Amino acid sequence: MGNSRMNIYRASEILKVPERRILDFSDPVNPLGVSKKVKAELRKHLKSLKNRPDPECARMRRHLSRHLDVDMDNMICGNTVSGLISSVLAVLRPQRVLIPAPSTPDYLRMSPGTDDSGKDVPDMVKYLELKEDDNFCIKPGEFVTGIDGCDLAVLPNPNNPTGSVVAKGEIAGIASAARDRKCYLLVDETFIDFIPDETVINAVRDNPYLIVLRSISLFHALSGLGLAYSVMDRELVKSIGVPGQLYPVNLLAQRAAVIAMKDKVYKKETFVLLKEEKRFLEREFKKLGLDFFPSAVNFYLIKIPFAGELCDFLMKKYILVRRCDDFRGLGGDYIRIAVKNHRENSVLIKALKEFMSGWSLPEQLPAAK
């Protein structure tokens, strides 16, 4: 049962229980859930569902422009970060792409360096292999060296699944080096709202080769609506056009995004909760002897023997975690665990203790009761 692409819907069918019974640690969304203000905004605009959504996301882009101090002409919106990356790639048509490993497998599926099955096409993708001894952190100097010979480089910051971060000052240096080499630098800031001070979104105005991608879905627990945006050179925006003309951003998503970004109380509560729960989880991981990697965000990469058996064990207890066997450079001994609320985190820790109590008998792995 334990596989890298399990989700609550498949798990619900397999386990024959309602989706609400499943604790989903595989999806790193904000443990606070949807804010009350956003829920109220969604209810208020349900009557508007008869209208088509604005394909240009004008209202939302105006708010983003004020919120981020970025010109509207430098911005496009879409349903997902993946969709925006595909739109960028369709225009840039890069011949060789630098991708760190490990990083999300989605980059490969969107890359021109893969065929329709997702299989690598030789010489199209250049990997920057990150080292476990360095906690899989991206080293700026090595990244700049890796840019040579590429016309597009992908820099996930924070990285997924490691949770590591490159400081914005170091990214500025990488972006400058990329511009000198006429290589586009695509900085994926999907998780940056969890450490907002490290964004490089304002550096776009001085660098036509810098592209920054952001998501609103994960920090604001709005994955069911889906909303992302990108900031880039206005000439590139013109070339891409408006992705929403074909696949418009959901009307309610546009409304929710504006309210979500204004909700300062929600953000404050998020940071307080995450600080407390990360401290709790790290303390419990150490007690269990789990090998986890430092993370600046709301998930942890953990190295553990019998990862597949552990995923099966947890799933029988209605708990999902993310296997990382499809991340290049990791293999089968890694899982990713999201940070949730204290009750849910406590349930997970209890299950981990039960599983690991069977390690003294490696020939007999523990079975769920």
Domain with CATH 3.40.640.10 in the chain: 36-262
pLDDT of residue 229: 94
10-residue stretch averages of pLDDT, the chain, 369 residues long = 74 92 95 96 94 90 92 91 89 93 81 52 82 96 96 96 96 96 97 96 95 95 92 92 68 94 96 98 96 97 93 95 92 94 98 84 43
Angle of the 307-316 helix axis to the 342-356 helix axis, nearest 10: 120
- Which architecture characterizes domain 36-262 according to CATH? 3-Layer(aba) Sandwich (3.40)
Which of 75, 356, 100, 43 has its CA nearest to residue 201?
Answer: 75
CA distance 298 to 296: 7
**Domain 8-34+265-360: CATH class, spelled out:** alpha beta
pTM of structure: 0.91
pLDDT of residue 244: 53
Using alpha carbons, list the distances in angstroms from residue 301 to 125, 193, 220, 285, 325. 24, 19, 22, 11, 12
Domain with CATH 3.90.1150.10 in the chain: 8-34+265-360
- With vertex at residue 154, the alpha carbon angle to CA 95 and CA 164, rounded to the nearest 5 degrees, is 160
pLDDT of residue 106: 81
pLDDT of residue 305: 86
Element (DSSP H or E) covering residue 188:
strand 184-189
The greatest distance separating any two alpha carbons of the chain, rounded to the nearest whole angstrom, comes to 62
Question: DSSP letter at 97?
Answer: E
In the block, residue with structure tokens 């019974």: 21
CA distance 232 to 110: 19
pLDDT of residue 243: 57
Question: DSSP letter at 357?
Answer: G
CA distance 62 to 73: 10
Whole-angstrom Cα Rg for the chain: 21
pLDDT of residue 278: 98
Query: Is-contact 25 340, C-beta < 8 A?
Result: yes
3-state secondary structure of 366: coil
CA distance 315 to 319: 5
pLDDT of residue 368: 43
| Tokens (6 digits) for 19 | 């989706």
pLDDT of residue 6: 85
For residues 324, 329, 334 and 338, what is the CA-based torsion angle, rounded to 10 degrees?
Answer: -60
